[in-house]
Amino acid sequence: MKKGKAYLVGAGPGDIGLITVKGLEAIKKAEVILYDRLANPKLLDFASPHCEFIYCGKLPQRHHLRQENINELLVEKVMQGKIVVRLKGGDPGVFGRVGEEAEALAKESLPFEMVPGISSGIAAPLYAGIPVTHREYGESFAVVTAHDKSKDGKPSLDWEGLAKGVDTIAFYMGVANLPFICENLIKHGKSVETPVILIQWGTFGRQQTLEGTLSTIADLVKKEKFSNPAITLVGEIVKLREKISWFEKKPLYGRQILLARTGTNESALAKKLADEGADVIEFPKWKSERIKLDVEIMGQIESYEKILFTSPESVTDFFQSLLEYRMDVRKIKAYFYGLSSKSVKAINEKGFLAELASNMPHEGKLLIIGDSSIEKNKPNFTIEFGTGDFLITSEKTVDEQFVPIFKRMLEEATLNTMIFPSSGSVSMFVEEVVEKGILSKEEINQLEIHCYGEETYKMATMFGFMTQAVEGNRTNEEMVQSLKLV
């Protein structure tokens, strides 16, 4: 029997770019991932298509899985010979209870590794423009839990030591006990005018901040209905934010975008949007499995004069199949076309010139190559491009494991923007989201809807979406730029 192993991994504070290289490697080879609420679910995109996901998220007074159950699951899955990743927000060693999980594994003599992550108490302030140490403002820094295991959850701390001996204090999840915290810091020597900042969803595009002093912040939190997850930072160093705040100045900061997804590859558009400060949720999440190509069509491949690739993935699958079939690509005499600029780029990367489908002549024998979704769209392809043969390279289906993940992401986000990158993305989104009751058409129409190109706009309008912007462009850079101008 294969020997299992556990990796206790820090997912970082939210921005998926802050995951460590070692943490990402563990995710990629995992067979089971037990993940927390504060671990960005987008990290699960990097897992194997066959990986099992188990949600261990916790909310105050509402535990999805209690800690003892998580410990038992870890032990059970490793004993089954699985590579198991326990994915925890921030750093697992900072209020992450990683010690308890490691003890449970060690008790059964099971192998494990601890993989540090970037702690929220350091990262969230930095994304708010505040380093936690500075020679002029503070040379000491403490991380403190804002609740404990006592019945009332109020932390029992060395308040005098914190108030008089530490320049900057980061309280984790301190919203509920904020009045108690402020009262004790003032009582034990901190000035009532000491600056305080709360940073909610730090490093996410939906990051929000609330500033005050020890004497005002509790009332401000109540008035603004500010809630966890949040880091509370106390100290004179908070004043630096006025000079070096940077994250909120990104052009797409505050954009919470739902991006209709059509491919299985990582989205270059989603990355560009995130790089500019947006929070991006992609759905549906697709999985693909290559299938044996139609022997009859492959046997007459040299007879086609035009080959239309419907996705970048279909380009990769087709050329990979040629190698496996030991078929010389020089037998193909056809001109290559792509349904989108991404498909054209994928063809070019294989060393062939290609054009967009909109430039394809009507004359000539046509072969349309794509995944299983082209089957149901045969009538549309025929109307637009004329009669042709169809070659399916892979079976594409929605990864159902991501449906509950998507629903949880929607609960914690406040969407304001919707992007349809292609006409095909509209119909797929309607089928997998609207018709399955995950989001209604009315809810989507409350968002600012953007479309790539006239064809996408027509398709969105046909399905009843109130599109507020028509993008005649074809590049991700132009889409990002157009969002900056709105």
Residues designated catalytic: 36, 58, 173
Predicted TM-score (pTM) of the model is 0.88
The two tokens of residue 2 are 């294969």
Q: Which residues make up the CATH 3.40.50.10090 domain(s) of the chain? A: 256-285+399-485, 288-397
* Greatest pairwise CA separation for the chain in angstroms: 86
pLDDT at 146: 79
Q: Which residues make up the CATH 3.30.950.10 domain(s) of the chain? A: 122-249
The parts of the chain modelled with pLDDT lower than 50 are none
Q: Which residues make up the CATH 3.40.1010.10 domain(s) of the chain? A: 5-118
CATH fold group of domain 288-397: Rossmann fold (3.40.50)
- Which architecture characterizes domain 5-118 according to CATH? 3-Layer(aba) Sandwich (3.40)
- CA 254, distance to chain mean position in Å, is 16
430-462 pLDDT per residue, tens: 999 999 999 999 999 999 999 987 888 988 999
- 448-465 in b/e form (b: 16+ CB < 10 A) is bbbbbbebbbebbeeeeb
Give, in words, the CATH class of 122-249. Answer: alpha beta
Give, in words, the CATH class of 256-285+399-485. Answer: alpha beta
> Distance between CA 171 and CA 4 in Å, rounded?
36
> Distance between CA 44 and CA 411 in Å, rounded?
18
